[in-house]
Copies of this chain bind each other. A is one copy, B any other.
Amino acid sequence: MGKFDEFTRFRQAMNKKILEQGNLGIKRFFALDEQAYQPGALDSKAKELIGLAASLVLRCDDCVAYHLIQARDKGASSEEIFETFNIGLIVGGSIVIPHLRRAVDFLEELAGRQP
C-alpha cells in the first residue's frame, strides 16, 4: 500500500470516528474547513495553492499531502506547485526542507497514479 492509499484510508477512518463522537463544534469546524476552498472571488486552484503554502510553512505533512491532491485535481501544474513551494521555503526557512522532501516524494506517487 502506497503513501497515498495509507494517507487516504487513515484520514477517512479517523474523520468518521471524530464526527461520530458528536461534538458539534468539531463537526462545524470540519464543514467550515471544507467551505474555505470552494470557488469564490478566487478560483479553487488559487485557494488550494494558498492552502498548500500555509500548510507547508506550518510544517503539516498531512495538510500538504491533502492540498497537493486537491491542487493537482484542480489543474495546478508542477511549475505552479514548485513556485508555491519556493515561497513557502523562503517564508518558512530551512526547517521547511524536510517537509518539502516528503511533499516531493508524495507528489511523485501522485503523478504515477494519474491515468
Inter-chain contacts of A24 with B (CB < 8 A): 35
Inter-chain contacts of A85 with B (CB < 8 A): 23, 26
- In the assembled complex, the Cα of A41 lies from the Cα of B56 at a distance in Å of 19
Which residues 33-55 of A have a CB within 8 angstroms of B? 33, 35-37, 40-42, 46-47, 49-51, 53-55
- In the assembled complex, the Cα of A100 lies from the Cα of B87 at a distance in Å of 19
Q: CB of A113 within 8 A of chain B?
A: no
Question: Which of B15, B23, B59, B84 is the one whose CB lies under 8 Å from A83?
Answer: B23
Inter-chain contacts of A35 with B (CB < 8 A): 24-25
Inter-chain contacts of A90 with B (CB < 8 A): 25, 29, 32-33, 36, 93-94
Inter-chain contacts of A58 with B (CB < 8 A): 57-58, 91-92, 95
Question: Which of B11, B77, B88, B93 is the one whose CB lies under 8 Å from A101?
Answer: B11
B92 touches A54 (CB 8 A): yes
- In the assembled complex, the Cα of A97 lies from the Cα of B35 at a distance in Å of 16
- Binary per-residue interface labels of chain A (85-115) against chain B in the complex, 1 for a CB within 8 Å, 0 otherwise: 1111111111111101110110010000000
